[in-house]
Homo-oligomer: A and B are copies of this chain.
Amino acid sequence: MSPVLLALDLAGTFVFALSGALVGVRNRLDVFGVLVLAGLTGLGGGMVRDVLIGAVPPATLADWRYLLVPLVAALVTFRFHPGLGRIERHINYFDALGLGLFCVTGATKALQHGLNPLAAALLGMLTGIGGGVLRDVMAGRTPLVLRQEVYAVAALAGAAVVVVAWSAGYQAPWISAAGAAVCITIRVLALRYSWEIPRALSSD
C-alpha cells in the first residue's frame, strides 16, 4: 500500500474510532467497552471489505499500527472529552471525515484486487458505511445511513471519483484526496444545510 493511502486509511480509522468512542462515552460505557466500540467502528468497515474481496486475514488484525489507533482514540476520548453535552453534534463531523477517507481507500483496495469499476465503487461505499453501521447497531441506534440524510450517496460519490479516474488511467495521490474531499464536502454541506433526499409520499 502506498504511504499516502496508508496515511489516509489510518486517519480514517482514527476519526471513525473517535466517533465510536464518543457514542460509547455518551452511552456511559466503561473504558473497555468504549475501546471495543472504537475498534469495531474504526476497523469494522475495512474488515467487511477485506472479507468480501478475499483479503483474509485482514491486514488490520495483524498490523499494530491499525490496532494502536483505536486504542489511542478511545483513551483520548475517554480522558479529554470536555462534557457530554458538547460532544453529540461533533460525532457527525468525525463520522463525515471517516466516511470520506474510507470510501477512497476501500475503492482503491478493491481496484487493486482486480474488481471491476462498478464493484469497486460499491465496495468503497460499503467500506465507508460499514464501521458506522456496526457502531450504531451495537449501540442500539438506527444506523445513520438509514436516516433522512445524505450519507451513503456521499460515500458513493467519493468512491466514484477514484474509480472513474482509475478507469481513465489516473492513480495519483491527489485523486485520492479529491475523492475524499468530494465525499466530505457533500456530507458536511448536507449536515450544515440539512439537505434531504425526497421521501415517499404518505397517502394515509
User: Contacts A36-B145, A51-B51, A52-B57 known; A81 to B30 CB distance under 8 Å?
Assistant: no
A200 contact set on B, CB distance < 8 A: 25, 28, 31, 34, 77-78, 81
**Which chain B residues lie closer than 8 Å to A29 at the CB level?**
146-148, 199
A118 to B61, CA, bound (A): 8
With A33-B146, A142-B140, A148-B30 already in contact, the answer to whether A57 and B62 are too (CB < 8 A) is no
Find A198's partner among B31, B83, B204 (CB 8 Å cutoff). Answer: B31
Determine whether the beta carbon of B152 is less than 8 Å from that of A32.
yes
Asked if A148 contacts B85 (CB within 8 A), the reply is no
Residues of B with C-beta under 8 A to A62:
115-116, 118-119
Number of interface residues of A (CB under 8 A): 63
Interface-forming stretch among A95-103, A131-139, A161-169? A131-139
A203: Cβ under 8 A from any B Cβ: yes
Chain B residues with CB under 8 Å of A122's CB are: 61, 67
The reply to whether B146 and A27 form a contact with Cβ atoms under 8 Å apart is yes
User: How far, in Å, is A181 (CB) from chain B's closest CB?
Assistant: 20
Query: Is B52 touching A56 in the complex (CB atoms < 8 A)?
Result: yes
**A202 adjacent to B84 (CB under 8 Å):** yes
Residues in A80-111 with C-beta less than 8 Å from chain B = 81-85
Asked if A177 CB lies within 8 Å of chain B CBs, one says no
| Pair A143/B138 contact, Cβ less than 8 Å | yes
